[in-house]
Chains A and B, each alone.
Chain A
Protein backbone atom coordinates (compact mmCIF):
# COMPACT_ATOMS: atom_id res chain seq x y z
CA UNK A 1 0.00 0.00 0.00
CA UNK A 2 1.26 3.48 -0.81
CA UNK A 3 2.27 5.46 2.22
CA UNK A 4 -0.50 7.69 3.54
CA UNK A 5 0.49 10.93 5.21
CA UNK A 6 3.80 11.35 7.00
CA UNK A 7 6.16 8.52 8.02
CA UNK A 8 6.62 7.67 11.69
CA UNK A 9 10.08 9.23 11.55
CA UNK A 10 8.73 12.50 10.19
CA UNK A 11 6.13 12.63 12.96
CA UNK A 12 8.77 11.78 15.57
CA UNK A 13 11.06 14.60 14.44
CA UNK A 14 8.10 16.97 14.11
CA UNK A 15 6.77 16.20 17.58
CA UNK A 16 10.18 15.89 19.27
CA UNK A 17 12.49 18.10 17.25
CA UNK A 18 16.20 17.78 18.06
CA UNK A 19 18.60 20.71 18.34
CA UNK A 20 16.01 23.49 18.53
CA UNK A 21 17.24 26.95 19.39
CA UNK A 22 19.81 29.61 18.73
CA UNK A 23 23.60 29.72 19.16
CA UNK A 24 24.41 33.30 20.15
CA UNK A 25 28.07 33.16 19.17
CA UNK A 26 27.59 30.92 16.14
CA UNK A 27 30.52 30.42 13.79
CA UNK A 28 28.22 29.96 10.82
CA UNK A 29 24.62 30.94 10.09
CA UNK A 30 22.35 29.94 7.22
CA UNK A 31 18.84 31.09 6.48
CA UNK A 32 16.71 29.86 3.58
CA UNK A 33 13.08 29.98 2.50
CA UNK A 34 10.59 32.80 2.73
CA UNK A 35 7.64 33.25 5.08
CA UNK A 36 5.59 34.29 2.04
CA UNK A 37 6.03 30.74 0.77
CA UNK A 38 5.13 29.23 4.11
CA UNK A 39 8.55 28.16 5.29
CA UNK A 40 11.65 29.80 6.69
CA UNK A 41 14.52 27.90 8.22
CA UNK A 42 17.66 29.05 10.02
CA UNK A 43 20.62 26.97 11.13
CA UNK A 44 23.41 27.97 13.53
CA UNK A 45 26.69 26.02 13.73
CA UNK A 46 29.58 26.00 16.14
CA UNK A 47 32.79 24.62 14.62
CA UNK A 48 35.68 22.94 16.43
CA UNK A 49 38.59 21.42 14.51
CA UNK A 50 36.71 21.60 11.18
CA UNK A 51 33.92 19.59 12.74
CA UNK A 52 30.33 20.69 13.51
CA UNK A 53 30.56 20.70 17.26
CA UNK A 54 27.11 22.14 17.90
CA UNK A 55 24.14 22.92 15.68
CA UNK A 56 20.75 24.50 16.31
CA UNK A 57 17.78 25.44 14.17
CA UNK A 58 14.54 27.41 14.18
CA UNK A 59 11.86 26.87 11.56
CA UNK A 60 8.58 28.45 10.54
CA UNK A 61 6.72 25.97 8.40
CA UNK A 62 4.71 22.81 8.00
CA UNK A 63 5.29 19.46 9.66
CA UNK A 64 7.76 18.26 7.08
CA UNK A 65 9.75 21.52 7.18
CA UNK A 66 10.20 21.14 10.94
CA UNK A 67 11.03 17.42 10.68
CA UNK A 68 13.54 18.06 7.90
CA UNK A 69 15.26 20.77 9.97
CA UNK A 70 15.51 18.49 12.96
CA UNK A 71 16.81 15.57 10.90
CA UNK A 72 19.43 17.59 9.03
CA UNK A 73 20.86 18.94 12.28
CA UNK A 74 21.06 15.43 13.66
CA UNK A 75 22.77 14.16 10.52
CA UNK A 76 25.30 17.01 10.50
CA UNK A 77 26.18 17.10 14.18
CA UNK A 78 29.74 15.87 14.77
CA UNK A 79 30.55 15.62 11.07
CA UNK A 80 33.52 17.24 9.38
CA UNK A 81 32.42 20.32 7.44
CA UNK A 82 33.43 18.71 4.15
CA UNK A 83 31.32 15.66 4.96
CA UNK A 84 28.35 17.76 6.06
CA UNK A 85 28.56 19.70 2.79
CA UNK A 86 27.92 16.40 1.00
CA UNK A 87 24.59 15.77 2.74
CA UNK A 88 22.08 16.08 -0.07
CA UNK A 89 18.42 16.95 -0.10
CA UNK A 90 17.68 13.34 -1.01
CA UNK A 91 19.76 12.04 1.91
CA UNK A 92 17.57 14.00 4.32
CA UNK A 93 14.32 12.80 2.77
CA UNK A 94 15.59 9.19 2.70
CA UNK A 95 16.66 9.36 6.32
CA UNK A 96 13.09 10.42 7.18
CA UNK A 97 11.75 7.37 5.30
CA UNK A 98 10.52 9.65 2.56
CA UNK A 99 8.23 12.65 2.27
CA UNK A 100 4.95 12.99 0.34
CA UNK A 101 5.70 14.13 -3.24
CA UNK A 102 4.31 17.62 -2.77
CA UNK A 103 6.52 18.08 0.31
CA UNK A 104 9.83 17.15 -1.30
CA UNK A 105 10.75 20.83 -1.59
CA UNK A 106 10.90 20.94 2.22
CA UNK A 107 13.84 18.53 2.13
CA UNK A 108 15.62 21.03 -0.11
CA UNK A 109 15.35 23.67 2.57
CA UNK A 110 17.06 21.54 5.20
CA UNK A 111 20.15 20.71 3.19
CA UNK A 112 20.25 24.23 1.76
CA UNK A 113 20.19 25.86 5.21
CA UNK A 114 22.97 23.57 6.40
CA UNK A 115 25.13 24.29 3.35
CA UNK A 116 24.48 28.01 3.74
CA UNK A 117 25.66 27.89 7.38
CA UNK A 118 28.83 25.99 6.46
CA UNK A 119 29.64 28.35 3.60
CA UNK A 120 29.01 31.33 5.87
CA UNK A 121 31.67 29.91 8.18
CA UNK A 122 34.04 29.37 5.26
CA UNK A 123 33.53 32.94 4.06
CA UNK A 124 34.17 34.27 7.58
CA UNK A 125 37.35 32.22 7.92
CA UNK A 126 38.57 33.15 4.45
CA UNK A 127 38.41 29.65 2.98
CA UNK A 128 36.12 30.85 0.20
CA UNK A 129 35.14 34.25 -1.12
CA UNK A 130 31.60 35.53 -0.90
CA UNK A 131 31.15 35.20 -4.64
CA UNK A 132 32.15 31.56 -4.46
CA UNK A 133 29.16 30.66 -2.29
CA UNK A 134 27.03 28.11 -4.13
CA UNK A 135 23.35 28.84 -4.29
CA UNK A 136 21.38 25.68 -4.63
CA UNK A 137 18.46 25.70 -6.98
CA UNK A 138 17.36 22.72 -8.94
CA UNK A 139 14.19 24.52 -9.93
CA UNK A 140 11.94 21.74 -8.73
CA UNK A 141 8.94 21.56 -6.52
CA UNK A 142 8.70 25.09 -5.24
CA UNK A 143 5.23 26.37 -5.93
CA UNK A 144 5.76 29.62 -4.06
CA UNK A 145 3.84 32.49 -5.62
CA UNK A 146 6.66 35.03 -5.33
Chain B
Protein backbone atom coordinates (compact mmCIF):
# COMPACT_ATOMS: atom_id res chain seq x y z
CA UNK B 1 0.00 0.00 0.00
CA UNK B 2 1.40 3.33 -0.95
CA UNK B 3 0.82 6.46 1.11
CA UNK B 4 1.20 10.12 0.40
CA UNK B 5 -0.21 9.94 -3.11
CA UNK B 6 -2.97 12.30 -2.08
CA UNK B 7 -2.84 15.60 -0.24
CA UNK B 8 -1.60 15.30 3.32
CA UNK B 9 -2.85 18.16 5.49
CA UNK B 10 -2.24 16.64 8.91
CA UNK B 11 1.41 17.54 9.36
CA UNK B 12 0.88 18.44 12.97
CA UNK B 13 -0.21 14.93 13.93
CA UNK B 14 2.82 13.40 12.32
CA UNK B 15 5.05 14.02 9.33
CA UNK B 16 7.90 12.37 7.58
CA UNK B 17 11.26 13.64 8.79
CA UNK B 18 13.14 15.86 6.38
CA UNK B 19 15.26 13.56 4.13
CA UNK B 20 18.34 15.62 5.01
CA UNK B 21 17.67 14.87 8.67
CA UNK B 22 17.48 11.15 7.97
CA UNK B 23 20.65 11.36 5.91
CA UNK B 24 22.42 13.06 8.75
CA UNK B 25 21.16 10.82 11.55
CA UNK B 26 21.13 7.40 9.93
CA UNK B 27 24.77 6.79 10.82
CA UNK B 28 23.59 6.44 14.44
CA UNK B 29 21.41 3.53 13.39
CA UNK B 30 23.86 1.78 11.11
CA UNK B 31 27.42 2.92 11.94
CA UNK B 32 27.72 4.13 15.52
CA UNK B 33 26.54 1.52 18.03
CA UNK B 34 27.74 3.57 20.97
CA UNK B 35 26.09 4.26 24.26
CA UNK B 36 26.86 7.90 25.14
CA UNK B 37 27.68 6.83 28.71
CA UNK B 38 30.53 4.54 27.61
CA UNK B 39 34.04 5.94 27.83
CA UNK B 40 35.54 4.18 24.83
CA UNK B 41 35.88 5.88 21.48
CA UNK B 42 32.59 4.56 20.11
CA UNK B 43 30.76 5.76 23.22
CA UNK B 44 32.42 9.14 22.91
CA UNK B 45 31.27 9.45 19.30
CA UNK B 46 27.75 8.85 20.50
CA UNK B 47 28.19 11.32 23.34
CA UNK B 48 29.43 14.00 20.98
CA UNK B 49 26.40 13.42 18.73
CA UNK B 50 24.08 14.10 21.66
CA UNK B 51 26.01 17.22 22.63
CA UNK B 52 26.02 18.52 19.06
CA UNK B 53 22.24 18.03 18.94
CA UNK B 54 21.91 19.86 22.24
CA UNK B 55 23.79 22.84 20.80
CA UNK B 56 21.56 22.91 17.73
CA UNK B 57 18.35 22.78 19.75
CA UNK B 58 19.66 25.46 22.09
CA UNK B 59 20.35 27.71 19.10
CA UNK B 60 16.82 27.26 17.74
CA UNK B 61 15.36 28.73 20.93
CA UNK B 62 18.30 30.99 21.80
CA UNK B 63 19.01 29.25 25.10
CA UNK B 64 21.85 30.91 27.02
CA UNK B 65 23.56 27.58 27.58
CA UNK B 66 23.08 24.29 25.74
CA UNK B 67 23.30 22.48 29.08
CA UNK B 68 19.85 23.85 29.85
CA UNK B 69 18.36 21.58 27.18
CA UNK B 70 17.28 18.13 28.42
CA UNK B 71 16.38 15.49 25.85
CA UNK B 72 13.29 13.38 26.54
CA UNK B 73 11.38 10.75 24.58
CA UNK B 74 8.52 13.04 23.56
CA UNK B 75 6.87 16.38 24.20
CA UNK B 76 4.43 14.67 26.56
CA UNK B 77 7.37 13.50 28.66
CA UNK B 78 8.88 16.99 28.59
CA UNK B 79 5.57 18.48 29.76
CA UNK B 80 5.38 15.97 32.59
CA UNK B 81 8.94 16.73 33.65
CA UNK B 82 8.39 20.48 33.43
CA UNK B 83 5.28 20.45 35.60
CA UNK B 84 5.71 17.57 38.00
CA UNK B 85 9.47 18.08 38.27
CA UNK B 86 9.22 21.74 39.22
CA UNK B 87 6.08 21.46 41.34
CA UNK B 88 7.44 18.62 43.46
CA UNK B 89 10.87 20.24 43.79
CA UNK B 90 9.47 23.64 44.81
CA UNK B 91 6.44 22.55 46.82
CA UNK B 92 7.79 24.18 49.97
CA UNK B 93 7.39 27.58 48.27
CA UNK B 94 3.79 27.12 47.20
CA UNK B 95 1.26 24.59 46.06
CA UNK B 96 -0.68 26.49 43.38
CA UNK B 97 -0.68 25.67 39.67
CA UNK B 98 -2.09 27.65 36.77
CA UNK B 99 -2.70 26.60 33.18
CA UNK B 100 -4.70 28.01 30.32
CA UNK B 101 -7.90 26.16 29.50
CA UNK B 102 -6.55 25.21 26.08
CA UNK B 103 -3.32 23.48 27.13
CA UNK B 104 -2.41 20.10 25.72
CA UNK B 105 -3.82 17.19 27.64
CA UNK B 106 -0.33 16.18 28.85
CA UNK B 107 -0.04 19.54 30.64
CA UNK B 108 -3.56 19.47 32.05
CA UNK B 109 -3.32 15.86 33.19
CA UNK B 110 0.10 16.42 34.81
CA UNK B 111 -1.45 19.22 36.83
CA UNK B 112 -4.64 17.31 37.61
CA UNK B 113 -2.53 14.44 38.84
CA UNK B 114 -0.64 16.79 41.17
CA UNK B 115 -3.97 17.71 42.77
CA UNK B 116 -3.85 14.26 44.38
CA UNK B 117 -0.70 15.43 46.17
CA UNK B 118 -2.40 18.51 47.56
CA UNK B 119 -1.63 21.02 44.82
CA UNK B 120 -4.35 23.43 43.75
CA UNK B 121 -5.08 23.93 40.07
CA UNK B 122 -6.84 26.84 38.44
CA UNK B 123 -7.49 27.20 34.72
CA UNK B 124 -7.08 30.57 33.00
CA UNK B 125 -9.89 31.41 30.56
CA UNK B 126 -9.31 32.40 26.93
CA UNK B 127 -11.33 34.65 24.66
CA UNK B 128 -13.35 33.47 21.65
CA UNK B 129 -10.18 33.43 19.51
CA UNK B 130 -8.21 31.47 22.08
CA UNK B 131 -6.07 34.31 23.47
CA UNK B 132 -5.36 33.95 27.18
CA UNK B 133 -7.23 36.47 29.33
CA UNK B 134 -4.38 38.48 30.83
CA UNK B 135 -6.56 40.19 33.41
CA UNK B 136 -7.82 36.84 34.63
CA UNK B 137 -4.21 35.65 34.84
CA UNK B 138 -3.35 38.68 36.98
CA UNK B 139 -6.24 37.96 39.29
CA UNK B 140 -5.50 34.26 39.62
CA UNK B 141 -1.74 34.29 40.08
CA UNK B 142 -0.02 34.64 43.46
CA UNK B 143 3.39 34.19 45.04
CA UNK B 144 2.29 30.62 45.77
CA UNK B 145 1.86 29.85 42.07
CA UNK B 146 4.85 27.63 41.37
CA UNK B 147 4.20 26.92 37.71
CA UNK B 148 2.03 28.75 35.20
CA UNK B 149 1.71 26.91 31.91
CA UNK B 150 0.63 28.65 28.71
CA UNK B 151 1.37 27.18 25.31
CA UNK B 152 3.22 29.19 22.66
CA UNK B 153 0.51 28.33 20.15
CA UNK B 154 -2.43 25.95 20.13
CA UNK B 155 -2.49 23.02 17.73
CA UNK B 156 -6.23 22.82 17.33
CA UNK B 157 -6.94 26.46 16.52
CA UNK B 158 -3.49 27.80 15.56
CA UNK B 159 -3.72 30.80 17.89
CA UNK B 160 -0.39 32.26 19.07
CA UNK B 161 -0.37 33.48 22.69
CA UNK B 162 1.17 36.77 23.90
CA UNK B 163 3.97 34.96 25.73
CA UNK B 164 6.05 38.03 26.51
CA UNK B 165 3.17 39.76 28.26
CA UNK B 166 2.28 36.56 30.07
CA UNK B 167 5.88 36.18 31.19
CA UNK B 168 5.85 39.70 32.54
CA UNK B 169 2.79 39.01 34.70
CA UNK B 170 4.06 35.63 35.87
CA UNK B 171 7.43 36.98 36.93
CA UNK B 172 5.94 39.95 38.69
CA UNK B 173 3.45 37.97 40.74
CA UNK B 174 4.30 34.28 40.61
CA UNK B 175 7.22 31.99 40.03
CA UNK B 176 7.90 29.91 36.93
CA UNK B 177 6.48 30.13 33.40
CA UNK B 178 6.29 26.90 31.41
CA UNK B 179 5.57 27.22 27.70
CA UNK B 180 4.63 24.24 25.58
CA UNK B 181 6.09 25.13 22.18
CA UNK B 182 5.44 21.75 20.58
CA UNK B 183 3.40 23.06 17.66
CA UNK B 184 5.00 26.51 17.46
CA UNK B 185 8.70 25.60 17.33
CA UNK B 186 10.15 25.58 13.86
CA UNK B 187 7.15 27.59 12.63
CA UNK B 188 7.70 30.92 14.34
CA UNK B 189 10.81 32.34 16.03
CA UNK B 190 11.16 31.47 19.72
CA UNK B 191 13.67 33.15 22.00
CA UNK B 192 13.53 31.88 25.56
CA UNK B 193 15.67 34.74 26.86
CA UNK B 194 13.86 37.55 25.13
CA UNK B 195 10.42 35.99 25.69
CA UNK B 196 11.17 35.41 29.39
CA UNK B 197 10.49 31.67 29.41
CA UNK B 198 11.65 29.47 32.31
CA UNK B 199 10.64 26.09 30.91
CA UNK B 200 9.96 25.24 27.25
CA UNK B 201 8.74 22.00 25.69
CA UNK B 202 9.78 20.89 22.20
CA UNK B 203 9.00 17.90 20.02
CA UNK B 204 11.29 16.45 17.38
CA UNK B 205 8.68 15.35 14.88
CA UNK B 206 6.95 18.73 14.92
CA UNK B 207 10.13 20.36 13.60
CA UNK B 208 10.57 17.68 10.87
CA UNK B 209 12.78 15.45 12.99
CA UNK B 210 12.23 11.74 13.67
CA UNK B 211 9.60 10.62 16.15
CA UNK B 212 10.88 9.44 19.53
CA UNK B 213 12.58 12.57 20.85
CA UNK B 214 11.44 15.68 22.65
CA UNK B 215 13.26 18.26 24.73
CA UNK B 216 12.73 20.40 27.77
CA UNK B 217 14.54 23.68 28.19
CA UNK B 218 14.90 24.61 31.85
CA UNK B 219 16.42 28.02 32.48
CA UNK B 220 19.45 28.64 34.72
CA UNK B 221 17.46 29.48 37.84
CA UNK B 222 14.95 26.65 37.57
CA UNK B 223 15.09 23.95 40.21
CA UNK B 224 13.66 20.69 39.02
CA UNK B 225 13.65 17.06 40.07
CA UNK B 226 13.30 13.93 37.94
CA UNK B 227 9.97 12.20 37.51
CA UNK B 228 11.61 8.99 36.29
CA UNK B 229 14.61 7.67 38.20
CA UNK B 230 17.48 5.55 36.97
CA UNK B 231 21.00 6.33 35.82
CA UNK B 232 22.47 9.79 35.45
CA UNK B 233 21.65 10.57 31.83
CA UNK B 234 20.49 14.08 30.99
CA UNK B 235 21.78 15.44 34.33
CA UNK B 236 19.74 12.75 36.06
CA UNK B 237 16.55 14.45 34.94
CA UNK B 238 15.72 12.01 32.16
CA UNK B 239 17.50 8.76 32.89
CA UNK B 240 17.55 5.96 30.36
CA UNK B 241 19.87 5.28 27.44
CA UNK B 242 19.54 8.06 24.90
CA UNK B 243 17.66 7.49 21.63
CA UNK B 244 20.70 8.49 19.66
CA UNK B 245 19.11 8.45 16.20
CA UNK B 246 16.11 10.52 17.23
CA UNK B 247 18.18 12.99 19.24
CA UNK B 248 20.77 13.51 16.49
CA UNK B 249 17.90 13.90 14.01
CA UNK B 250 16.10 16.37 16.24
CA UNK B 251 19.28 18.45 16.44
CA UNK B 252 19.70 18.52 12.68
CA UNK B 253 16.02 19.32 12.24
CA UNK B 254 16.42 22.22 14.68
CA UNK B 255 19.38 23.53 12.70
CA UNK B 256 17.46 23.36 9.42
CA UNK B 257 14.37 24.91 11.01
CA UNK B 258 16.40 27.84 12.28
CA UNK B 259 17.81 28.49 8.80
CA UNK B 260 14.65 27.86 6.77
CA UNK B 261 11.75 28.81 9.03
CA UNK B 262 11.38 32.29 7.65
CA UNK B 263 11.17 31.21 3.97
CA UNK B 264 8.98 28.21 4.82
CA UNK B 265 6.53 30.29 6.75
CA UNK B 266 6.17 32.83 3.93
CA UNK B 267 5.48 29.99 1.49
CA UNK B 268 3.02 28.14 3.73
CA UNK B 269 1.27 31.28 4.88
CA UNK B 270 0.38 32.13 1.28
CA UNK B 271 -1.17 28.68 0.78
CA UNK B 272 -2.89 28.87 4.16
CA UNK B 273 -4.41 32.28 3.46
CA UNK B 274 -5.81 31.10 0.13
CA UNK B 275 -7.21 27.96 1.72
CA UNK B 276 -8.93 30.00 4.42
CA UNK B 277 -10.28 32.50 1.94
CA UNK B 278 -11.69 29.79 -0.31
CA UNK B 279 -13.13 27.50 2.36
CA UNK B 280 -14.86 30.37 4.15
CA UNK B 281 -16.89 30.87 0.95
CA UNK B 282 -18.83 27.73 1.89
CA UNK B 283 -22.10 28.60 3.66
CA UNK B 284 -22.27 28.35 7.44
CA UNK B 285 -18.51 27.91 7.72
CA UNK B 286 -16.42 29.58 10.40
CA UNK B 287 -12.73 30.03 11.09
CA UNK B 288 -11.70 28.77 14.54
CA UNK B 289 -8.91 30.56 16.36
CA UNK B 290 -7.35 33.93 15.63
CA UNK B 291 -7.34 35.32 12.10
CA UNK B 292 -3.89 36.92 12.27
CA UNK B 293 -2.13 35.74 15.46
CA UNK B 294 -2.02 32.30 13.91
CA UNK B 295 0.64 29.72 13.06
CA UNK B 296 1.69 30.14 9.41
CA UNK B 297 0.87 26.54 8.43
CA UNK B 298 -2.43 26.26 10.28
CA UNK B 299 -6.01 26.55 9.00
CA UNK B 300 -8.92 25.44 11.17
CA UNK B 301 -12.66 25.63 10.65
CA UNK B 302 -16.02 24.51 11.87
CA UNK B 303 -19.05 23.76 9.78
CA UNK B 304 -22.62 24.04 11.05
CA UNK B 305 -24.90 20.97 10.99
CA UNK B 306 -22.25 18.34 10.24
CA UNK B 307 -19.80 16.35 12.30
CA UNK B 308 -16.00 16.37 12.08
CA UNK B 309 -15.20 12.67 11.91
CA UNK B 310 -17.53 12.33 8.92
CA UNK B 311 -15.67 15.19 7.26
CA UNK B 312 -12.31 13.52 7.93
CA UNK B 313 -13.48 10.12 6.63
CA UNK B 314 -15.11 11.52 3.51
CA UNK B 315 -12.10 13.64 2.55
CA UNK B 316 -9.88 10.61 3.06
CA UNK B 317 -11.99 7.95 1.34
CA UNK B 318 -13.37 10.04 -1.51
CA UNK B 319 -10.58 12.54 -2.21
CA UNK B 320 -7.44 11.10 -0.59
CA UNK B 321 -7.02 14.23 1.49
CA UNK B 322 -5.98 13.81 5.13
CA UNK B 323 -7.09 16.31 7.75
CA UNK B 324 -7.66 16.29 11.49
CA UNK B 325 -10.69 17.12 13.61
CA UNK B 326 -11.29 18.13 17.19
CA UNK B 327 -14.61 16.35 17.08
CA UNK B 328 -15.46 14.27 20.09
CA UNK B 329 -16.50 11.40 17.89
CA UNK B 330 -13.01 10.85 16.57
CA UNK B 331 -11.39 10.89 19.97
CA UNK B 332 -10.96 8.00 22.35
CA UNK B 333 -13.04 9.61 25.05
CA UNK B 334 -15.97 10.94 22.98
CA UNK B 335 -15.80 14.16 24.95
CA UNK B 336 -16.04 17.38 22.96
CA UNK B 337 -12.74 19.19 22.45
CA UNK B 338 -11.83 21.13 25.59
CA UNK B 339 -10.14 23.71 23.36
CA UNK B 340 -13.22 24.49 21.28
CA UNK B 341 -15.45 24.55 24.36
CA UNK B 342 -13.02 26.97 26.04
CA UNK B 343 -13.63 29.40 23.14
CA UNK B 344 -17.28 29.48 24.22
CA UNK B 345 -18.55 27.21 21.46
CA UNK B 346 -21.52 24.98 22.18
CA UNK B 347 -21.03 21.22 22.09
CA UNK B 348 -22.90 20.88 18.80
CA UNK B 349 -20.67 23.57 17.27
CA UNK B 350 -17.51 21.96 18.57
CA UNK B 351 -18.42 18.68 16.89
CA UNK B 352 -18.11 20.13 13.38
CA UNK B 353 -14.44 21.04 13.34
CA UNK B 354 -11.72 20.43 10.78
CA UNK B 355 -8.01 21.21 11.16
CA UNK B 356 -5.54 21.48 8.27
CA UNK B 357 -1.81 21.76 8.94
CA UNK B 358 0.52 22.32 6.00
CA UNK B 359 3.98 20.94 5.48
CA UNK B 360 6.75 20.52 2.95
CA UNK B 361 4.66 18.39 0.59
CA UNK B 362 2.00 21.06 0.10
CA UNK B 363 2.01 23.52 -2.78
CA UNK B 364 -0.34 26.17 -4.20
CA UNK B 365 -1.70 23.89 -6.95
CA UNK B 366 -3.47 21.90 -4.27
CA UNK B 367 -5.62 24.80 -3.05
CA UNK B 368 -8.38 24.51 -5.65
CA UNK B 369 -8.41 20.69 -5.35
CA UNK B 370 -8.79 20.91 -1.57
CA UNK B 371 -11.45 23.61 -1.78
CA UNK B 372 -13.48 21.59 -4.26
CA UNK B 373 -13.20 18.46 -2.11
CA UNK B 374 -14.20 20.26 1.09
CA UNK B 375 -17.15 21.89 -0.66
CA UNK B 376 -18.41 18.54 -1.95
CA UNK B 377 -17.82 16.85 1.40
CA UNK B 378 -19.78 19.49 3.27
CA UNK B 379 -22.62 19.34 0.75
CA UNK B 380 -22.76 15.54 0.94
CA UNK B 381 -22.92 15.48 4.73
CA UNK B 382 -25.41 18.31 4.95
CA UNK B 383 -27.68 16.40 2.57
CA UNK B 384 -27.62 13.56 5.11
CA UNK B 385 -28.17 15.81 8.11
CA UNK B 386 -31.54 16.35 9.78
CA UNK B 387 -30.34 19.64 11.28
Interface residues of A (CB under 8 A from B): 6, 11, 14-15, 17, 20, 31, 35-42, 58-63, 65-66, 102, 105, 143-146
Contact = CB atoms under 8 A, between A and B. Distances in A.
25 contacts: A6-B313, A11-B317, A20-B383, A37-B347, A38-B307, A38-B328, A38-B329, A38-B336, A41-B386, A58-B384, A58-B385, A58-B386, A59-B386, A60-B305, A60-B306, A60-B307, A60-B386, A60-B387, A61-B310, A63-B310, A63-B313, A102-B333, A102-B334, A143-B333, A145-B347
Contacts of B305: 60
Nearest to B306: A60
Contact of A35 (B310, B335, B387): B387
B4 interface: no
Interface of B: 305-307, 309-310, 313-314, 317-318, 327-330, 332-336, 346-348, 351, 383-387
Which 5 interchain pairs have the tightest Cβ spacing?
A62-B329, A62-B309, A58-B386, A35-B348, A143-B334
A40 B387 contact: yes
B114 to A, nearest CB: 25
Given A39-B329, A62-B307, A15 B387 contact: no
Given A60-B307, A62-B330, A145-B335, A36 B387 contact: no
A92 B88 CA distance: 51
Given A15-B318, A143-B334, A145-B347, A62 B327 contact: yes
A20 B334 CA distance: 26
Nearest to A12: B317
Given A35-B351, A60-B306, A66 B384 contact: yes
Nearest to A142: B334
Given A15-B317, A20-B383, A35-B351, 18 more contacts: A20-B384, A36-B348, A37-B347, A38-B307, A38-B329, A38-B334, A59-B386, A60-B305, A62-B327, A65-B329, A66-B310, A66-B384, A102-B333, A102-B334, A143-B334, A144-B334, A145-B335, A146-B347
B103 to A, nearest CB: 19
A17 B341 CA distance: 31
Contacts of A143: 333-335
A129 to B, nearest CB: 27
A109 to B, nearest CB: 12
A15 B376 CA distance: 13
A17 B351 contact: no
A20 B336 CA distance: 27
Nearest to A146: B347
Contacts of A11: 313, 317
B334 A61 contact: no
B332 A102 contact: yes
Nearest to B347: A36
Contact of B386 (A15, A37, A42): A42
Contacts of A35: 347-348, 351, 387
Residue from B307, B332, B347 with most neighbouring chain A CB atoms (10 Å):
B307
B383 to A, nearest CB: 7
Contact of B310 (A41, A58, A62, A145): A62
A41 B385 CA distance: 8
A31 B386 CA distance: 10
Report which residue of B313, B314, B351, B387 has the largest number of chain A beta carbons within 10 angstroms of its beta carbon.
B313
A11 B314 CA distance: 10
A66 B318 CA distance: 16
Given A62-B307, A145-B336, A40 B386 contact: yes
Nearest to A100: B332
Nearest to B349: A35
A40 B221 CA distance: 54
Nearest to B318: A15
Most buried by B among A14, A15, A59, A62: A62
Contacts of B327: 38, 62
B121 to A, nearest CB: 20
Contacts of B318: 15
Contacts of A60: 305-307, 384-387
A67 to B, nearest CB: 10
Contact of A36 (B309, B317, B330, B346): B346
B307 A39 contact: yes
A145 B387 CA distance: 20
Nearest to A103: B329
A65 B384 CA distance: 11
A56 to B, nearest CB: 11
Contacts of B307: 38-39, 60-62, 65
A116 to B, nearest CB: 14
Contact of A59 (B314, B328, B347, B384): B384
A60 B309 CA distance: 11
Given A35-B351, A39-B307, A59 B332 contact: no
A146 B333 CA distance: 15
